[in-house]
A = this chain, B = another copy of it.
């Protein structure tokens, strides 16, 4: 059997996220083979009822995306959300406060960020909000690979799932935001605004 089929079976059986590294180890193959197989699997799942979700390790980790690792998991296609929701018994919390929206947008679009930067951008202490979002499973913290005395906050699969995206790259304006240097925040904000008014005009 091909590698991609094995990976699909493993992910199906586990039913929860797994790291690319662990997959390679378990299958006794290299990281590059795993990455290639995952690309094929993604292609294969294109018109299916299930999708492959992926999360890269934070960008601050050195190395390009082929060695950066990250986690993957299987989920139901976002287009079938309404159908599957009817089967779901547990209550879903779809409410987000303004503080949560601000904090999540920083964490999602930066794909991993330490707390001081979140506080700096928001101008307020974010401890409460970060704790509440962790408890809801929308974010998780891990040690900063660049500075082991602090944590970085990252989006979880749960967050990507609620957003209906397979990876952060699918978020609207993601490329726009990440390709520009921060100091041109004003330009970006204007571009986004221009885009918005165009969208409004199209409605």
- Which residue numbers of A lie inside 8 Å of B, CB to CB? 1-2, 4-10, 12-16, 26-27, 44, 47-50, 74, 76-77, 79-80, 83-84, 86-91, 95, 97, 116, 119-120, 123-125, 127-128, 131, 134-137, 140, 149-151, 156, 158, 198-199
Contact = CB atoms under 8 A, between A and B. Distances in A.
Number of copies: 2
Given A123-B134, A125-B158, A128-B16, A9 B80 contact: yes
A5 to B, nearest CB: 4
Contact of A134 (B16, B79, B124, B128): B124
A125 B95 contact: no
Nearest to A95: B199
Contacts of A13: 76, 84, 87-88
B10 A84 contact: yes
Contact of A125 (B7, B83, B86, B137): B137
Nearest to A89: B149
A95 to B, nearest CB: 6
Nearest to A88: B13
A127 to B, nearest CB: 7
Given A9-B49, A10-B84, A125-B140, 14 more contacts: A1-B77, A5-B47, A9-B83, A10-B83, A12-B12, A12-B76, A13-B84, A13-B87, A26-B86, A26-B87, A90-B150, A125-B135, A125-B136, A127-B137
